[in-house]
Amino acid sequence: MDTILNFDRSAGQAAPGKVPTHLVADDKAMLRTAAVLTRDLTAPRPAIYWADLIASAVVGWGALAVAILTPSTALAIGAGIVSMLALYRGISFIHELTHVKHASLPHFRAGWNALIGVPMLTPSFMYEGVHNLHHAKTRYGTAEDPEYLPLALMKPWTLPLFIVISGLAPIGLLIRYAILSPVSVVLPGLRRIVVERFSALAINPSFRRRMPEGEFRAQWNRIETAASLWAITLLALVASDVVPLRAFLIFLAVAAGVAVVNQVRTLVAHLWENEGESMSVTAQYLDTVNVPPPALLPMLWAPVGLRYHALHHLLPGVPYHALGEAHRRLSATLDAMSPYHQASYPGLPGLVARIARSTMVVRR
């Protein structure tokens, strides 16, 4: 759902001697090379998608069961962490769902919603029809981008708030699906508010969704009904003590962990230095982050291809399992002066420190 934050969006100024990213022109040689070298990498491989999704779900829900059932506190904590990381990997496939041609992955959307999306109360419609706006050349980094805020130009207190508030997401989602969904069925005015403001995985508080139409509306209603029934059933089972309160709290803690880790990843997914201007594709690429090998930890905090986020913005049609090969080809082919290499960073700590330092710069 939307993260509604009244962040200070006061204007910032570029560091002396630094060309503002939005003024960077397209590097046509890089764009042409990227397109040519990856033409054979655009087909998703269903076996990889299904195996990865099912393994993530089995490990995630299995470890959650261990965390709930074990009498050992240490084992419960360890299993909870494993569950959180596995379910986080599983939930990250929502990003792939917004880009893949569903005819090439039959029934994958339904399978993902059944295994991850509905149980975690983050069904696919919360990203489909939203994330594509983030990739629109004329919208990226502007006020019309649902997934962009100039975080690097805001006040220092906005960063911890940005992370901490994400931990409340499981509570907000329960309210959204157990209460707002059924009530909005009989209150059309509320329904519009729910769709516009509480049905998108967005960070821009000014973003408003359009009401769904046609087949997408029918699909939305089916999936939302399933999510609503699940949320109501879960709360009813807890209220009647069929599901122990301890088990419910562990589930909420794991879900909150997923939300926080994802928010940290979001914090370092871009440099967040644009103030609303339109940007070239190359400028958008340079405002985005790759964390390629040899770093190992990004496999955990940026799974399912998200460690190649900048490359994904360059080639959004390449499936997650092919991004590593695409990166190797481009790194070996493009010369050292190519802007392609400027979007790669060594790891999470340096990226967090960079944006934290940027927020501390005094701006007029």
Q: In the chain, what percentage of residues exceed pLDDT 70? A: 93
> Exposure pattern of 248-268 as b/e (b: 16+ CB <10 Å)?
bebbebbbbbbbbbbbbbbbb
Neighbours of 52 (CB within 10 A): 19
Structure tokens at 136: 């629109």
Asked if the model's pLDDT at residue 182 lies above 70, the reply is yes
Q: Using a CB cutoff of 8 Å and minimum separation of 24, what contacts does 320-329 make?
A: 320/96, 321/44, 321/45, 321/48, 321/49, 322/38, 322/41, 322/42, 324/292, 324/293, 325/41, 326/34, 326/37, 326/38, 326/41, 327/290, 327/292, 329/37, 329/38
Residue 14 placed within a domain = no
Mean pLDDT of 216-239: 97
C-alpha to C-alpha distance for 24 and 273, rounded to whole angstroms: 13
Residue 342 contacts by C-beta under 8 Å, 6 or more apart in sequence?
Answer: 286
Q: In this predicted structure, what is the pLDDT of residue 247?
A: 97
The overall longest dimension of the chain from CA atoms, in Å, is 65
C-alpha to C-alpha distance for 194 and 200, rounded to whole angstroms: 10
CA dihedral defined by 217, 220, 222, 226, rounded to 10 degrees? -160
Residue 227's domain spans which residues? 21-359
C-alpha to C-alpha distance for 90 and 58, rounded to whole angstroms: 10
Tell me the pLDDT band of 276, cut-offs 50, 70 and 90: confident
Residues 313 and 229 sit within 8 Å (Cβ to Cβ): no
Residue 108 placed within a domain = yes
Residue 308 placed within a domain = yes
Asked if the model's pLDDT at residue 145 lies above 50, the reply is yes
Tell me the pLDDT band of 300, cut-offs 50, 70 and 90: very high
Residue 313 contacts by C-beta under 8 Å, 6 or more apart in sequence?
Answer: 135, 281, 284, 285, 288
Structure tokens at 256: 């909150």
Asked if the model's pLDDT at residue 195 lies above 80, the reply is yes
Compute the chain's Rg from CA coordinates. Answer: 21
Q: In this predicted structure, what is the pLDDT of residue 19?
A: 60
Residue 9 placed within a domain = no
Mean pLDDT of 52-80: 98
Of 13-17, 30-34, 308-312, 352-356, minimum mean pLDDT range: 13-17
Q: In this predicted structure, what is the pLDDT of residue 144?
A: 92
Residue 344 placed within a domain = yes
Residue 13 placed within a domain = no
pTM of the predicted protein model: 0.92
> Exposure pattern of 120-148 as b/e (b: 16+ CB <10 Å)?
bbbbbbbbbbbbebbbeeebbbbebbbbb
Residue 8 placed within a domain = no
Q: In this predicted structure, what is the pLDDT of residue 11?
A: 32
Say how many domains are in the chain: 1
pLDDT tens-place string over residues 84-129: 999 999 999 999 999 998 899 999 999 999 999 999 999 999 999 9
Residue 286 placed within a domain = yes
Amino acid 335 reads D
Asked if the model's pLDDT at residue 168 lies above 50, the reply is yes
Tell me the pLDDT band of 24, cut-offs 50, 70 and 90: confident
